[in-house]
């Protein structure tokens, strides 16, 4: 189910004195099974862009084409589009509103007209996928911890069983353990075949998980390519007010000191392998 974005522009409050063009002239294509990281400084247009992908925002200009069909053309059911492309909002705390966790996760399937049995199965499956304890299902979502609320919000979208999952800062404000667990769940969903688009301010997470990275700067798509290529450009990232991944910075420091290590490592494991290789070359292998 490819998604194509053509010349996409969105202006908020168009025609008023406070109009803001949040994104402009954006083109890209998402293919099945991709894991894309969307990065960019605050206010660069990330949330605006992704809300177009399942028709929550209507383009001021340009097109969003899902499976070859413009989602804003006559006769297209946006409900069907949202069933295929699920979006977890940036502040899911503001999205939980039902009396119990169960009802919250069941909202999507019920809305799509699934039977009680089918809904129950979907809720249980979604809980397993996000590691949410089923004992919590009868609780009020307002009694949960930040990490649990995130899981409820993600489970609510997974219960719709979308083909594409878009997450807007799913780990912001969580402690390292909660963050790692949620990212691990997302990684597994991708490994099971889901297309994932992850918006994140955390370059280390994006470098470690995503295969392709798109960079937004003041509403323009200024880079779109393999994570390895995008993250090896430290100066470019810094000019976008983005902090390069820690491992990129470390490799650059070592290179400045004359170490023959690669400048495009993405994970701690890769950095470790490079350092060991160089130490061996230098004849100090016994030290590692």
| Chain positions contacting Mg ion, by CB under 5 A | 46-47, 90
| Per-residue contact string for residues 19-38; x = within reach of ligand ATP by CB under 6 A | -x-x----------------
**Residue whose CB is less far from ligand ATP, 16 or 192:** 16
Q: How many CA atoms within 13 Å lie on the side-chain side of 90?
A: 12
Among 15, 16, 17, 42, binds ligand ATP (CB under 6 A): 42
For 108, other C-beta atoms within 10 Å of its C-beta total 24
| 54 contributes a contact to ligand ATP by CB under 6 A | no
> For residue 168, which of 94, 116, 273, 118 has the smallest C-alpha distance?
94
What are the backbone angles phi and psi of residue 99, rounded to the nearest 5°?
-75, -35
Q: Single out the segment in contact with ligand ATP by CB under 6 A; choices: 44-52, 173-181, 257-265, 277-285.
A: 44-52
Binding partner at 202 among ligand ATP, Mg ion, none, C-beta below 5 to 8 Å by kind: none
Q: Which listed residue (37, 45, 92, 109) binds ligand ATP by CB under 6 A?
A: 45
The reply to whether 192 sits near ligand ATP by the rule CB under 6 A is no
44 binds ligand ATP (CB under 6 A): yes
Residues 83-112, one symbol each (x = binds ligand ATP by CB under 6 A, - = not), give -------x----------------------
Taking the complex as a whole, the smallest distance from the CB of residue 198 to ligand ATP amounts, in Å, to: 13
Cβ-based neighbours of 79, under 8 Å, separated by 6 or more: 112
In the bound complex, what is the minimum distance in angstroms from residue 154's beta carbon to ligand ATP? 18
Per partner kind, with CB cut-offs from 5 to 8 A, the member of Mg ion, ligand ATP, none near residue 233 is none
245-256 burial, b at 16+ Cβ within 10 Å, e below that, comes to bebbebbeebee
Q: Two tokens at 146?
A: 């930040």
Between 43 and 225, CB nearer to ligand ATP: 43
Q: Which of 41, 14, 3 is nearest to 26 (CA)?
A: 3
The residues near 199 (Cβ < 8 Å, ≥ 6 apart) are 37, 38, 39, 46, 47, 50, 90, 166, 167, 168, 169
Does 48 bind ligand ATP (CB under 6 A)? Our answer is yes
Alpha-carbon distances, residue 118 vs 86, 108, 129, 179 (angstroms): 19, 12, 16, 30
Residue 47 lies near ligand ATP (rule: CB under 6 A): yes
244: which DSSP letter? P
If one asks whether residue 119 binds ligand ATP (CB under 6 A), the answer comes out as no
Could you say whether residue 275 binds ligand ATP (CB under 6 A)?
no
Stretch that binds ligand ATP, among 43-51, 61-69, 70-78, 271-279 (CB under 6 A): 43-51
Shortest distance, position 222 Cβ to ligand ATP, whole Å: 13
Given ligand ATP, Mg ion, none, residue 287, with its beta carbon under 5 to 8 Å by kind, binds none
How far apart are the C-alpha atoms of 161 and 122, rounded to whole Å? 8
Which C-beta is closer to Mg ion: that of 44 or that of 119? 44
Strand positions, DSSP E, the chain: 3-12, 20-30, 35-40, 61-66, 69-70, 85-88, 164-168, 195-199, 212-217, 220-226
- Return residues touching ligand ATP (CB under 6 A): 12-13, 20, 22, 40, 42-48, 90
């Amino acid at each position: 189910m490819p998604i194509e974005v053509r010349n996409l522009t969105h202006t908020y409050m168009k025609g008023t004195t406070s109009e803001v063009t949040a994104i402009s002239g954006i083109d890209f294509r998402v293919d099945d099974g991709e894991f894309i990281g969307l990065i960019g400084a605050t206010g660069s247009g990330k949330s605006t862009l992704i809300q177009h992908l399942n028709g929550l925002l209507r383009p001021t200009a340009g097109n969003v084409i899902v499976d070859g069909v413009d989602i804003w053309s006559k006769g297209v059911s946006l409900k069907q589009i949202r069933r295929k492309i699920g979006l977890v909002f940036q502040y899911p705390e503001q999205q939980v509103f039902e009396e119990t966790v169960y009802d919250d996760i069941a909202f999507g399937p019920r809305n799509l007209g699934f039977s009680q049995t089918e809904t129950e199965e979907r809720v249980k499956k979604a809980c397993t996928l996000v590691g949410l304890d089923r004992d919590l299902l009868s609780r009020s979502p307002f009694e949960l911890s930040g990490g649990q609320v995130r899981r409820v919000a993600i489970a609510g979208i997974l219960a719709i069983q979308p083909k594409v999952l878009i997450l807007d800062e799913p780990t912001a404000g969580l402690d390292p353990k909660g963050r790692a667990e949620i990212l691990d769940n997302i990684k597994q969903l991708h490994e099971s075949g889901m297309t994932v688009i992850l918006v994140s301010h955390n370059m280390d997470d994006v470098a470690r998980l995503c295969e392709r990275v798109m960079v937004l700067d003041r509403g323009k798509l200024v880079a779109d390519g393999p994570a390895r290529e995008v993250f090896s450009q430290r100066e470019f990232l810094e000019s976008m007010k983005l902090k390069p991944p820690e491992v990129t910075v470390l490799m650059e420091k070592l290179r400045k000191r004359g170490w023959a290590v690669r400048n495009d490592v993405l994970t701690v494991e890769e950095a470790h392998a490079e350092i060991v290789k160089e130490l061996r070359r230098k004849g100090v292998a016994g030290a590692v």
